Amino acid sequence: MDTSPKDPAPPEAAGNGVGRKIARMTAHLPSNTIGALWILLASFLFSIMVTLIKVVGQDLSVFQILVVRQAVMLSIVAPKILSGLPTSLSTQRPGLQIVRIVVATTAMLSGFTAIIELPLADATAISFSKTFFVTIFAIWLLGETVGVHRWSATIVGFLGVLLMLNPHGSGFIDPYALLAILGAACAGLVMIVVRLLTRTDAPVTILTYQAIGVGLIMLVPAIMTWHAPSLGQWGLLVLIGIISWAAQMSNIRAFRAGEATAIASLDYTRLLYATVLGAAIFGNWPRLETLLGAAVIIAASIYTVRREAKRGRELARAADARGYSN
């Protein structure tokens, strides 16, 4: 059991009244139980978010969805950003902030497009491959030493991805599945970049640059592809932004409260939610090959987390970075 003190909640996660109320209600519970409840909530909210994106994506461009989503999220955290000026805009790594913005934009653009075009469960399952991309980028950028066990789990996870991409050996790979892989790879890279940024910059600074930067990048293509939303579509777009913010905050709280080794595997409940929602709303059931590939990836990921915990090592993951491809 990790008895080290938890980091204080970041400014963007600490000030909302709902969060404080839930924290008071669960204060008597063990820390891992609290973390588990938060991550289950985050997984459910992320699943609702991608479902709404798939619904509105039938009529609106992904650029339009992204720019409204970022605008809503930015408006929610604006009071914290404005109250923290000029600190919230002060960064020691401007180049790395730009890299993070570009990679996060690519992750969301690729991931959201895959969600719109693929069955919901398929897109969700492929997104789990970000775990082994984290390993690769951690070696490259963080200089982590990886042993045979972790490499073996990474290779097994990669085989699970191949199973989902080309299940029948026909040589044909769905281009949207490749987009889902690209989104997962970029999401893994975002985790590593955020890990580097947190060494020098405050969480609110990282959030500010990401929120503004992604919105600005998406603004021009959104205008070019703009289709006037109906009143109902406006409501869904705003709801996507609100739920996105709530899901990310729940995820941050989860990993601040509980040990990653104890709660990380609960994030895979998203596949269950995606399967149920995809079947109920869109009439799409995941392929058997998708479920088998997802099972391989999940098993390899859980093995990696458990083994690293036994060795007393901290995995290269940052709660603040999670969810950007979703």
Measured distance CA(220)–CA(12) in Å, rounded? 28
The predicted pLDDT at position 262 comes to 66
Q: Are 64 and 222 in contact (CB under 8 A)?
A: yes
For 99-149, the pLDDT digits (tens) are 999 999 999 999 999 999 988 988 888 888 887 787 788 777 877 676 777
Over range 83-92, report the average pLDDT. Answer: 82
Choice between 165 and 148, residue whose per-residue pLDDT is larger:
148
Q: Which residues does 274 contact at the CB level (< 8 Å), separation at least 6?
A: 47, 50, 51, 120, 121, 123, 124, 125
- The alpha carbon of 234 is separated from its chain's Cα centroid by a whole number of angstroms, namely 24
Dihedral in degrees, nearest 10, Cα atoms 6, 242, 41, 62: -110
Q: How confident is the model at residue 27 (pLDDT cuts 50, 70, 90)?
A: low
The predicted pLDDT at position 284 comes to 85
The least confident of 26-40, 182-196, 217-231, 269-283 is 26-40
For 168-211, the pLDDT digits (tens) are 444 557 788 889 999 999 998 988 888 888 888 887 788 788 88
Q: Which residues does 160 contact at the CB level (< 8 Å), separation at least 6?
A: 129, 292, 293, 294, 295, 296, 297, 300
Average pLDDT of the residues of the chain: 80
Single-letter amino acid code for the residue at 51: T
Q: Which two tokens stand for residue 261?
A: 């080794």
The predicted pLDDT at position 272 comes to 84
The predicted pLDDT at position 47 comes to 94
Among all chains, which residue has been given the structure tokens 């798939």?
54
The predicted pLDDT at position 172 comes to 57
Q: Is the pLDDT of residue 3 over 90?
A: no
Q: Which one, of 62, 20, 5, 1, lies nearest residue 249 by Cα?
A: 20
Measured distance CA(305)–CA(299) in Å, rounded? 10
Q: How confident is the model at residue 323 (pLDDT cuts 50, 70, 90)?
A: very low
Choice between 109 and 267, residue whose per-residue pLDDT is larger:
109
The least confident of 36-45, 144-153, 247-256 is 144-153
